[in-house]
Amino acid sequence: MPDMRKSSGSSPLWMAPHVTIFLSSACIMVIELVAGRIIARHVGVSLYTWTAVIGVIMAGISLGNYYGGRIADTGRPRRILALLFFLTALGCALILPLNALAGELGRFPGLPWSFRIFLHTLITFLAPSTALGMITPVVAKMGLEYHRAQGRTVGGIYACSVAGSLTGTFLAGFYLVMLWRASTLVLLSSAGMIFLGICYWVSVILYSDSPATADMPSLKQEPNSPYKTSASLWIYAALTVFVSNAAFMAFEFAVTRVISREFGSSLYTWTLVIGVVLGGITFGNYLGGRIADRSFSGRTIALLFGVSALLVLASPLCNEGVNILRGQNIHIATLSWPMQIALQVLAMCLIPCIAIGTVSPIVTKRLLASGVAPGASVGTVYAWGSIGSIFGTFFSGYLLVQWLGSLPLVALVATALSLVALCYLPRNLLTWAATLACVTALFSSLAFFPALRPVADLLKLSAASDPPAVYEKESQYSYIAIVKDRKEPAIHEMYLDQLVHTRIDMRDHTRLLYEYEWIYSEVMEKTHPTPSPVRAFVIGGGGYAYPHYLEITRPGSQITVAEIDPAVTEAAHVALDFPRNTAIRIEDRDARNVVDDLVRHQEADTSFHKFNYIFGDSINDYTVPYHLTTLEFNQRLHSLLEDDGVYLFNMIDMLDSGAFLAAVIYTCRQTFEYVTVFNTGRQSFVRDTFVVVCSKKQLFLDDIPLRLQAQYAYIGEQLTDDLLDRLIVRHKKMVLTDDYAPVENLLAPVVRTRAGDTGEVNLAFARRYAENGDFVRALKRCRTAVSIHSKWPEAYELLAWLLQQSGDQEGSISALRQAIEGHEDPSSAWYALGQALMKSERYEEAIEAWTKCVEIKPDHINGLYNLGVLHGTRGELEQAIFFWRKVLELDPAHADSLHNLATAHVMGSELDEARKLVQQMKTLNLEVSPDIEKALK
**Is the same domain home to 369 and 511?**
no
Query: How many separate domains does the chain show?
Result: 5
Q: Summarize pLDDT for 265-287 with one digit per residue, the tens.
A: 766 777 788 878 878 887 888 88
**Is the same domain home to 793 and 911?**
no
**Is the same domain home to 700 and 729?**
yes
Between 336 and 439, residue with greater pLDDT: 439
**Is the same domain home to 243 and 191?**
no
Handedness of CA 851, 855, 861, 862 (dihedral sign): negative
The pLDDT assigned to 646 comes to 96
Q: Summarize pLDDT for 46-74 with one digit per residue, the tens.
A: 878 877 888 888 888 888 877 887 787 77
Handedness of CA 146, 151, 154, 155 (dihedral sign): negative
Please tell me the distance from the alpha carbon of residue 682 to that of residue 789, in angstroms, as a whole number.
13
Q: Assess contact for 512 and 545: CB atoms under 8 A.
A: yes
Q: Is residue 485 part of a domain?
A: no
| Burial per residue of 825-856, b for 16 or more beta-carbon CB atoms within 10 angstroms, e otherwise | ebbbbbbbbbbbbbeeebeeebbebbebbbeb
Please tell me the distance from the alpha carbon of residue 195 to that of residue 203, in angstroms, as a whole number.
12
Q: Assess contact for 144 and 292: CB atoms under 8 A.
A: no
Q: Among 21-25, 229-233, 352-356, 821-825, where is mean pLDDT lowest? A: 229-233
Tell me, what DSSP letter sits at residue 733? T
Pairing of the two strands 611-616 and 688-695? unpaired
The pLDDT assigned to 23 comes to 85
**CATH number, domain at 803?**
1.25.40.10
**Is the same domain home to 832 and 705?**
no
Q: ∠476-478-481 over CA atoms, to 5°? A: 125
| Burial per residue of 759-775, b for 16 or more beta-carbon CB atoms within 10 angstroms, e otherwise | bbbbbbbbbbbbeeeeb
End-of-domain residue from the set 822, 845, 868: 845
- Residue 410, pLDDT above cutoff 60: yes
Q: Summarize pLDDT for 228-244 with one digit per residue, the tens.
A: 445 566 777 888 889 98
β-bridge mates for residue 718, sequence order: 678
Q: Among 18-27, 307-316, 351-360, 522-531, where is mean pLDDT lowest? A: 18-27
**Is the same domain home to 300 and 350?**
yes
Q: Is residue 553 part of a domain?
A: yes
**Is the same domain home to 148 and 282?**
no
Please tell me the distance from the alpha carbon of residue 356 to that of residue 158, in angstroms, as a whole number.
13
| pLDDT band, very low/low/confident/very high, at 222 (cuts 50, 70, 90) | very low
**CATH number, domain at 49?**
1.20.1250.20
Q: What mean pLDDT comes out for the span 558-565?
A: 93
Q: Summarize pLDDT for 431-440 with one digit per residue, the tens.
A: 899 999 999 9
Report which listed range, 117-131, 721-735, 742-756, 761-775, is most confident: 721-735
**Is the same domain home to 528 and 660?**
yes
- Residue 80, pLDDT above cutoff 80: yes
The pLDDT assigned to 212 comes to 45
The parent domain of residue 593 ranges over 505-753
- As a whole-number percent, the residues of the chain with pLDDT over 70 amount to 91
Sheet containing 535-539: give its strands across. 585-587, 558-562, 535-539, 611-616, 641-653, 688-695, 674-678
The pLDDT assigned to 262 comes to 78
**CATH number, domain at 621?**
3.40.50.150
The pLDDT assigned to 376 comes to 66
Q: Summarize pLDDT for 779-810 with one digit per residue, the tens.
A: 888 888 888 877 778 888 888 888 888 888 88
**Is the same domain home to 65 and 196?**
yes
How far from chain centre, in Å, is Cα 429?
A: 42
The reply to whether omega before 211 is within 30° of 0 (cis) is no
Per the prediction, the chain carries an average pLDDT of 84
Please tell me the distance from the alpha carbon of residue 527 to that of residue 532, in angstroms, as a whole number.
10
C-alpha dist (Å) from residue 76 to 62, 80, 294, 392, 864: 22, 6, 29, 35, 93
Q: Assess contact for 112 and 45: CB atoms under 8 A.
A: no
- Residue 342, pLDDT above cutoff 60: yes
The pLDDT assigned to 650 comes to 93
C-alpha dist (Å) from residue 130 to 159, 276, 798: 21, 26, 62
Please tell me the distance from the alpha carbon of residue 639 to that of residue 602, in angstroms, as a whole number.
9
Q: Is residue 133 part of a domain?
A: yes
The pLDDT assigned to 733 comes to 92
Q: Summarize pLDDT for 864-879 with one digit per residue, the tens.
A: 988 988 888 888 888 8
Residues comprising the chain, all counted: 937
| pLDDT band, very low/low/confident/very high, at 204 (cuts 50, 70, 90) | confident
End-of-domain residue from the set 426, 443, 460: 443
C-alpha dist (Å) from residue 661 to 40, 687, 714, 928: 22, 12, 21, 61
Q: Is residue 435 part of a domain?
A: yes
Say which amino acid occupies 747: L
Sheet containing 491-496: give its strands across. 469-474, 479-484, 491-496, 499-505
- Residue 219, pLDDT above cutoff 50: no
C-alpha dist (Å) from residue 821 to 325, 462, 525, 793, 838: 35, 44, 31, 7, 21
Q: What mean pLDDT comes out for the span 163-188?
A: 84
- Residue 575, pLDDT above cutoff 90: yes
**Is the same domain home to 167 and 47?**
yes
Please tell me the distance from the alpha carbon of residue 508 to that of residue 514, in angstroms, as a whole number.
14
Q: What mean pLDDT comes out for the span 830-855?
A: 88
**Is the same domain home to 275 and 207?**
no
The pLDDT assigned to 378 comes to 67
| pLDDT band, very low/low/confident/very high, at 639 (cuts 50, 70, 90) | very high
Q: Is residue 341 part of a domain?
A: yes
End-of-domain residue from the set 753, 779, 805: 753
Q: Is residue 592 part of a domain?
A: yes
Q: Among 22-26, 364-368, 405-409, where is mean pLDDT lowest? A: 364-368
- Residue 826, pLDDT above cutoff 80: yes
The pLDDT assigned to 364 comes to 80
Q: Is residue 518 part of a domain?
A: yes
C-alpha dist (Å) from residue 192 to 90, 470, 807: 11, 54, 71
The pLDDT assigned to 621 comes to 61
**Is the same domain home to 282 and 314?**
yes
Tell me the chain's radius of gyration from C-alpha atoms: 34
| pLDDT band, very low/low/confident/very high, at 920 (cuts 50, 70, 90) | confident
Q: Is residue 554 part of a domain?
A: yes
C-alpha dist (Å) from residue 933 to 88, 323, 395, 476, 917: 100, 62, 79, 70, 11
